Amino acid sequence: TELITAAIMMSVFKKGSRNAFNNERDSEEFVKNYESIFNVRFPSTDTVDEIMRRTDEKCFEKLKTQLVKILLKKKVFYKNRISGKYFLIVIDGSHVMTVNEGHCEHCLWRTSEKSGKTTYFHNVVEAKLVTDTGFSISLATEWVENPGGKYDKQDCGMKAFVRPAEKLKKDFPRLPICIGADGLYPDQTFFGICRENGWEYIVSFRDGNLPPVWEEVRILKELSEENSRQITNLAGEKKTVLTYSWVNDIDYKGFIPNRSECVGESDDKITRFVSVSSVGADYFVVTEITEAGRMRWKTENGGL
Radius of gyration of the chain (CA): 23
Provide the 10 A C-beta neighbour count for residue 281.
24
Please state, in angstroms and rounded to a whole number, the distance separating the CA atoms of residues 247 and 250: 7
pTM: 0.84
* Strands of the chain, DSSP E: 87-99, 108-111, 118-130, 136-143, 177-181, 200-204, 228-235, 238-247, 258-265, 270-277
Q: What is the pLDDT of residues 227-253, one digit of tens each?
A: 999 999 888 788 899 999 999 999 999
* Beta strand 177-181 pairing with 200-204: parallel
Q: What is the pLDDT of residues 175-224, one digit of tens each?
A: 999 999 888 888 888 999 999 999 999 999 988 888 888 888 888 887 77
Specify the 3-state DSSP secondary structure of 42.
coil
Check: CB of residue 275 under 8 Å from CB of residue 289: yes
Q: pLDDT class for 304, splitting at 50, 70, 90?
A: very low
Q: What is the pLDDT of residues 35-81, one digit of tens each?
A: 999 999 999 999 999 999 999 988 998 999 999 999 999 999 999 89
- The distance of Cα 286 from the centroid of its chain, to the nearest Å, equals 21
